[in-house]
Structure 1
Amino acid sequence: MIAPAKNLIRYCSAVFLLSLSVSLTAGAQDATKYPLIPYPTNLTAGEGSFVITSQTTIVTAKQFTGEAAELNKLLAKGLGSSLKMTKTAGQHTIKLVYDAGITAPEAYRLTITPQAVTIKANDPAGVFHAVETIRQLLPVAIEKGITSKKLVLPAVAIDDQPAYAWRGMHLDVSRHFFSISYLKKFIDRMALYKMNKLHLHLTDDQGWRIEIKKYPKLTEEGAWRTFDKNDTACTKRSKDNPDFTIDKEHIIQKNGKTLYGGFYTQQQMKGVVAYAAAKHIDIIPEIDMPGHMMAAINSYPFLTCNGENKWGTLFTKPICPCNETTFEFAQNVFDEIMEIFPSKYIHIGGDEVDRTDWGKSDACKALMEKEGIKDLAALQSYFINRMEKYFNSKGRKLIGWDEIIEGGISPTAIVMYWRTWVPKAPVEAVKNGNTVIMTPGEPLYFDNQPDQYSIDKVYHFNPIPKVLNAQEAKSIIGAQANLWSENIPSERRADYMSMPRMTALAECLWTNDDAKYNSYLQRLVKQYSRMDAMKINYRLPDLPNLLNEYVFTDEGKLSIASPLNTLTIRYTTDGTLPNVSSPVLPLTLVIKKSELIRVAEFTPSGVRGDVYNLNYTKQNMLGPVKIAPPKPGLACTYYKAYFKETALMQNAKVDSTFTTDKIEVPSTVKAPSFGITYKGYIDVPADGIYSFYLTCDDGGVLKIGPGVVVNNDGNHSAQERSGQIALAMGAHPFKLDFIEGGGGFTLKLKYSVNGSAPQDVPAAWFKN
């Protein structure tokens, strides 16, 4: 048996270990001295440092008084008192200077010398970003409010500006509710990493979270629910991970029932908006229409075409676009929303609409005939376009999910692209004249479970579709990550799912330089201590070189190199969860029998990272089988249907068959949901312990010989599962079942043998 493959983790882990190397390159020295995320457009290291004391003064242009106050507030946390604000510059001064020559929005120039600190910008946002740069250059202790007599800033010259105007984060507060204090914490870390748009998903089937005074039942009733299936799933997972425990402050007893929920008053939300505005973060409210409205329809059933409120085939019944009362309700709601949120952007949702009832409605039939509306998709566009005109009349711009383009949309609407499986959507929107914000589910749905590849995929995400030319690319104004909360019931879990991925997205959208990736990983290591001081429950770095299933013929050996020298790896062999009292994993753990090894990393304060379940199985080398003169490739069976798990394909109707020598979804497959079975033999050229890495969106099961090697079954986002098998040279029965529920179209299979680097399975190995 071999130790886990030495180079399975190709991204984060190798760079983390550079902290142990004997020397640092100039770039690494910059990463250590200036551990800034996102990295500036241009940075020139200086000599010496600027020392801030209680005698230091702040001088500001009149345009930047608010930003000067934010800077003073920051420095007061480290000095224990505010600095004096003066009108004229003296010695040892921090100056905020208006510079009309800096023309790029949000740009700034920061110069730190032993004599002075100078911030120059053309707009207040640029000054504020410079303040956040200074924050990251200050000692971590400032985040804890630990005071000292002086604060030291390294000398540096920075010219900086963002690559993209829209650098967003989304937070779903409707499925699980988050407190005002957490919203402010979320805003703080966005500001630290120069993100500038917070998209709040305020309403959905599971909860209505914002007070609307004209319709009080929206929150009196719609903000509360009995526990649903997602709550139950979270409670079950909380037995092993306390981050899945539902925050108790959002649970009440009412009329003999246990209810979960909460909402924001208008006054509370205005306070949050002001808090964000001071940090140059624009809060974009989303009131999801015409679908995802069950929480509202429960209290106001007149909103539907037939008074019903229930789940349809895939989604809930929508509000009716054919009744004037619907538009009266919508306009009244958005009037109050616009009073709370000054943002010029309002998000109307417009996704996942079950239009079935519209087609049965006499009112809709009459409206469609009157307006010349050809189909139900166009009827949805009628609703969206009419609401957009209303928004425009109030000086606002409408944003909708990319489904809004299906029935035709005006070129002035802003399209937010999320459906990874519809790559033409952002292209069609751009060619229609629309502005587009990129937020594809892969890799920017941060509610998808992170893994060892997540940071790399987010960092290297390119918001610009390859088919767009340079002029068309200007319509892509940026991107954002979405944090849907069905399975995020606590603030700690929200932290874990968003951090540190947010930092990778921040640098992707601000710096936009793939060449800085290794430097970014080094700087990220330095950022962890700041996150600790801010009490962010970030996801610890992945343990490198681990599989899900291991086999051995004589003995197994487990060796894990810690990704950070501050972490301790502990393990158990009795099935219990590792804790701070569990034994420390030795340099090499020898395994003699089939057993489950559970390992986890721990911070010095006792915070546990992910638990890794490593199944070790002792087995004999699997001998080859004799086969008739083989044909190249695998025989494939295609099923055009929806499956929740691969086993359900056994009794399904076959749509077609084909032969292939590649494990991938054929380009000819267009159905949103389907299944494929790849069957034949894998002919390996030598004896060995073979590792297989199966990435699926949605599910897949790999069988070689009589048993399962990798189980990656079920409906889920793209994730990799791995396993091993001891194979003798020759042919072995091979079967791979794959299902796609509608979304990702991701299927990859790689292998390694005796510790080699993972690579694609050679086409010549497949026979049938």
Structure 2
Amino acid sequence: MIRSHFRQQRIFAVTIVGLLCSLCSYAQQNQLPLIPYPNKVVPGRGNFTFTPQTVVAGNDFFSNEKLVLAELFSKSFGKPLPVKKDYPGIVQMNLDRRITDPEGYKLTITTQQITLQAADRAGMLIAIQTLRQLLPADIESAQGGKNKISVPAVAIEDQPAFSWRGTHLDVSRHFFTLDYLKRHIDLMALYKFNKFHLHLTDDQGWRVEIKKYPKLTEEGAWRTLNNQDSIVMSRSKENPDFIIDPRFFRQKNGREVYGGFYTQQELKDLVAYAAARNIEIIPEIDMPGHMMAAINSYMFLSCDSTSSFGKFFSTPICPCNPATLDFAKDIFTEIMDIFPSTYIHIGGDEVERSHWERSAACQDMMKREGMKTSAELQAWFINSMEKFFKEKGRKLIGWDEILDGGISSSAAIMYWRTWAGNAPNEAIKNGNVVIMSPDNPFYFSEQPDKNSLPATYNYSLIPASIAAKDRNRIIGGQANVWTEYVATEQRADYLYMPRMTALAENLWGSVKNYSSYMRRLDAHLVRLDTMKVAYRMPDLPLLYNYAFIDSMLVDVRSSMSNAQIRYTTDGSAPAQSSPVLNKLVLRTSQRLRMAAFKPDGRRGDIFDVAYNKQPLAQPAPDPAKPGKGLLVEWYNRSFDSTVLITGKPDREFTTAGVIVPKDAETAAFTMRYRGYINVPTSGIYTFYLTSDDAAVLKVAGREVANNDGMHAPKEKNGQVALQQGRQLFSLDFIEGGGGYTLRLLYSKDGSEPKEIPAEWFSNF
């Protein structure tokens, strides 16, 4: 306590500072359970208590929004709150034109009244979601019988930093019910997303009714199972989330096919459902590539009336055929009748232009139009469609490939190719707006790991290379779920959540504090449980590969207080009948498979962990003439796995450490690092290997981290017992094409992971 009789000003000042720091720390530790966290929060004293008689009233401009708020209480009270028109209600919705952002709002809660203020319906809907998050989690479940619900007193002023806060779902590879789409929209609204990018067509399926071309859904919406389904079915042996949804199979022409589609009326109803929650649905009809579902039904769309998968991508439609352009315009005319969105997504990615280069008609057209490359032909098609969109009062949006060959400045660019890192700058220089949707870390269809949440939360939406005057050209970001290997709603939930919450806070633009976010996330996992969302459970604090010398205590705890860890030793998947892990002592090498289980039986990820009893590895003999750095064998090609690396390397050179040459950033290549690592003291060393794609690390001839196979960036780690001195070191790395990721860190005795000093490395 600060007392007035303090004699020295200095003591007084120091005490004030100490008190403020304590209050600051208290505020951080006791933040309200809100995601995304508002820009300005002033805690009050006490609580406001709702009863079934609490009246919702206010400006009639918000008549629909009053009903939305009143309905929040139906499951708890058994009925909505009463709504009055122009009534001095206890819960008041006011129109405030002084709020400049259409999604901005003010929320004031005292012990006696709640006031929500906004200048637009969008802002009021977002204010309601903030209030919803302050309500107890069980507000989301049907229970009835309650007569009181309290929320804390607080004053909030808030608005988003970015206007595009999106999620994406591919319903083409695997199909999803309208009920699931609505439930996803509800989650989006809860976390203040406002754009739902619906990927409706691709090679594997056409999901939207087009009345002028009925075969698109009569034939194109159905397919036999493919090689991706085979992988899904293999994974389903241990994880029921991969069991292909049986609701989408049917008999057609004497064979079983998979698929489905949405009628135009169903999609119009979905658009209205989303709009009532401040969410705009952005339809994507991907062309000129990714169009086999259409070409197979209307073969005139391809240049040679054939359809197949090439080395990289599928047969595209033929822009040199006037009928193709007419077809595209017909499609988008009906799409625009369904979707009133400002933007229509044309895709424009991954086009196998070699088909056009072999087409006499396309070569004639290119010569006639003065085009020198097939990229210019693709640009001609995209620009023709963009002109058509403008005539219809719409705007075109496409993946960043549409920059190739030139694009109008009025189009929007969705950046996804991390290996084309300059694309946002190129787009801005061209006058385009940009939506950040990088494959790493915003492709949520990639298997998440312990790094996924912080990577999503901390990703910088505005690249450092963007000049201050141009930063407003980055209008937001978006997470994408591609469904080649996502066959169920449960799997989609798992991939979205809880990463969506991290993205929500990133996109909202409030002051970031990851530790605070993680504390607040705990309350949201309870809410998601209540909402029956099959989110990914938190990672167990594990390495993939442990080393010990005499014995080891295995004592693993989940961050979820109500979860139990169960394990097996025979290689089978842990089940709820498996033994509970409780301070297991190992004295011999052992492989354990373990997973967290919630009381309802839901299982988290399975972790395969090796515990290796091993003596300290003895140092290797010193080479006659040791050199600095590591030797590298370089191959101008990739392999599917490190075990398949063979043949004579194309060149050899030396690097200072685990470094990839800058000129290799976009090529497919293979590198084999060889040499020594000179460890300064004896003990158990942990190495953390992150790679995209394959990488395998061995130290002292022992495999430490196996990150083999083609995959997005992910970390594998492991330990090895090493005697002080020079130890053999080998690392194989394969980049299959695109932007590479390769990073190796180490730690010892529980220290934080850090870079390996260059002076530790030497070669033969």
TM-score, shorter chain, exceeding 0.5: yes
Determine helix, strand or coil for the equivalent of 2:192.
Answer: coil
Deviations along 1:569-605, whole A, 9 cap, x unmatched?
Answer: 222223222222222222x321112221111111122
SS in structure 1 at match of 2:356: helix
Partner of 1:232: 230
Q: Which residue of 2 aligns with 1:447?
A: 445
Question: Which of residues 634, 655, 664 in structure 1 aligns to 2:659?
Answer: 664
1:646-657, aligned counterparts within 5 Å? 646-651=642-647, 653-654=649-650, 656-657=651-652
Distance (Å, rounded) in 2 between the aligned partners of 1:351 and 1:445? 15
Output the CA distance in 1 between the equivalents of 2:471 and 2:315.
37
Matched, 1:733 2:728: yes
Equivalent positions of 1:287-686 (< 5 A) are 287-514=285-512, 516-544=513-541, 546-586=542-582, 588-626=583-621, 627-651=623-647, 653-654=649-650, 656-686=651-681
CA distance in 1, matches of 2:643, 2:575: 37
State how 1:131-170 maps to structure 2 within 5 Å: 131-147=128-144, 148-170=146-168
Instruction: Indicate if the aligned counterparts of 1:640 and 1:671 stay in contact, CA closer than 8 A.
Output: no
Aligned AA for 1:634? L
Counterparts of 1:8-19 in structure 2, within 5 Å, are: none
SS of alignment partner, residue 651 of structure 1: coil
Aligned to 1:8: none
Give the match for residue 688 of structure 2.
693
Normalised to the residue count of structure 2, the TM-score between the two structures is 0.95
* Contact map agreement 2:433 2:475 (CA 8 A) in 1: yes
CA contact (8 A) 2:687 2:747 kept: yes
Q: 1:26 to 1:560 in 2, by over 3 A?
A: farther
Q: CA deviation at 1:647?
A: 3.3
Cα distance in 2 for partners of 1:384, 1:478 equals 23
Structure 2 SS opposite 1:101: coil
**C-alpha contact (below 8 Å) 1:350/1:403 kept by paired residues:** yes
Partner of 1:44: 42
* CA shift for structure 1 position 202: 0.6
Q: Structure 2 residue aligned with 1:115, among 112, 133, 145?
A: 112
Equivalent residues of 2:544, 2:717 under 8 A apart: yes
8 Å CA contact retained: 1:695, 1:721 = yes
Q: Are the equivalent residues in 1 in contact too, given 2:67–2:83 (CA < 8 A)?
A: no
SS of the residue corresponding to residue 664 of structure 2 reads coil
* RMSD of Structure 2 on Structure 1 (CA): 1.6
Aligned-pair CA distance for 1:27: 5.6
C-alpha distance in 2 between matches for 1:414 and 1:387: 13
1:487-509 residue CA offsets vs partner (Å, 9 max, x unmatched)? 11100000001100000000001
The whole-number CA distance in structure 2 between the counterparts of 1:426 and 1:583 is 52
Selected match of 2:219 from 218, 221, 224: 221
1:252 aligns to 2:253 (yes or no) = no
SS of 2:662's partner is coil
Distance, in Å, in 1 between the alignment partners of 2:341 and 2:312 is 33
The structural deviation recorded for 1:26 is 6.0
Confirm whether residue 85 of structure 1 aligns to residue 83 of structure 2: yes
- Higher mean Cα deviation, 752-761 or 473-482? 752-761
Asked if 1:751 corresponds to 2:749, the answer is no
User: Which residue of 1 is the match for residue 710 of structure 2?
Assistant: 715
The share of aligned pairs that are identical, in percent, is 53
Aligned-residue offset at 1:403: 0.4
SS of 2:168's equivalent in the other structure is: strand
CA deviation vs aligned residue, 1:116-153 (integer Å, no higher than 9, x gap): 11111111000000111111111211100222112222
What is the CA deviation profile of residues 174-222 of structure 1, one whole-angstrom value per residue up to 9, with x for unaligned ones? 1111110000010000000000000001111111111111111111111
Q: Partner of 1:717: helix, strand, or coil?
A: coil
2:208 — aligned with what? 210
Q: Which residue of structure 2 lines up, in the alignment, with residue 15 of structure 1?
A: none
Q: What letter matches 2:753 in structure 1?
A: P
Shift of 1:731: 1.7
2:14 paired residue number: none
Give 2:760's aligned residue: 765
| Cα deviation 1:266-302 (Å, max 9, x = unaligned) | 1111111110000010000000000001111111110
2:695/2:707 contact within 8 Å kept: yes
**Corresponding residue SS for 2:273:** helix
Whole-angstrom CA distance in 2 between matches of 1:530 and 1:381: 47
Secondary structure (helix, strand or coil) at the match of 1:731 reads strand
Q: Tell me by how many angstroms 1:105 deviates.
A: 2.4
Q: 1:706 deviation in Å?
A: 3.0
Residue 631 of structure 2: SS of its match in structure 1? strand
Aligned equivalents of 2:355 and 2:194: distance in 1?
A: 39
Do 1:696 and 1:746's aligned partners in 2 also have CA atoms closer than 8 Å?
A: yes
Match of 1:706 in 2: 701
Which residue matches 1:16?
Answer: none
Determine the C-alpha separation between the residues in 1 that align with 2:269 and 2:614. 63
Structure 1 residue aligned with 2:240: 242
- Verify: 1:104 aligned to 2:137, yes or no: no
CA contact (8 A) 1:175 1:485 kept: yes
> Structure 2: which 5+ residue stretches go unaligned?
1-21
Quote the offset at 1:670 in angstroms: 4.1
SS at the partner of 1:608?
Answer: coil
Give the deviation of 1:32 after TM superposition. Answer: 5.2
Q: 2:122 aligns with which of 121, 125, 134?
A: 125
Conserved 8 A contact 2:244-2:487: yes
| CA displacement, residues 605-628 of structure 1 (integer Å, 9 cap, x when unaligned) | 221111111112222322112121
Specify whether residues 288 and 331 from structure 1 end up closer, same or farther in structure 2 by C-alpha distance, changes over 3 A only: same
2:51 aligns to what? 53
C-alpha distance in 2 between matches for 1:243 and 1:441: 23
The more displaced of 310-319 and 701-710 is 701-710
Bigger drift between 619-628 and 132-141 goes to 619-628
Partner Cα distance (1:354, 1:684) in 2 = 50
Distance 1:719 1:764 in 2: 27
CA deviation after TM superposition for structure 1 residue 36, in Å: 0.6
Deviates more, 1:754-763 or 1:268-277: 754-763
Q: Is residue 682–residue 765 contact of structure 1 (8 Å, CA) maintained in 2? A: yes
TM-score (norm 1): 0.94
Offset at residue 467 of structure 1 (A) = 0.8
User: After superposition, what is the alpha-carbon deviation per residue over 1:66-111, rounded to whole angstroms, capped at 9, x for unaligned?
Assistant: 2112112212232222233223333x52111111100112000111
How far apart, in 1, do the equivalents of 2:77 and 2:642 lie? 61
Q: Which residue of 2 aligns with 1:73?
A: 71
8 Å Cα contact 2:665-2:740 kept in structure 1 = no
| Cα distance in 1 for residues equivalent to 2:613 and 2:586 | 9
CA distance in structure 1 between the partners assigned to 2:381 and 2:51 by the alignment:
59
Unaligned stretches of 5+ in structure 1?
1-23
Q: Which amino acid aligns with 2:112?
A: Q
Aligned to 1:17: none
Tell me if the contact between 1:562 and 1:568 (Cα under 8 Å) persists in the aligned partners. yes
- Contact 1:698–1:744 (Cα < 8 Å) also in 2: no
SS of the residue corresponding to residue 604 of structure 2 reads strand
Q: 1:28 to 1:490 in 2, by over 3 A?
A: farther
CA distance in 2, matches of 1:31, 1:511: 20
* TM-aligned CA deviation for residue 28 of structure 1: 6.0
Aligned residues: 740
Cα 1:758–1:404 change in 2 (3 A) is same
C-alpha distance in 2 between matches for 1:603 and 1:670: 43
Q: CA deviation at 1:367?
A: 1.3
**Match for 1:563: what amino acid?**
S
SS in structure 2 opposite 1:493?
helix
Alpha-carbon offset, residue 243 of structure 1? 0.7
SS in 2 for 1:373: coil
Amino acid at match of 1:149: N
How much has 1:564 moved relative to structure 2? 2.3
- Cα distance in 1 for partners of 2:242, 2:195 equals 27
Partner Cα separation in structure 2 for residue 557 and residue 349 of structure 1? 53
Letter aligned with residue 116 of structure 2:
I
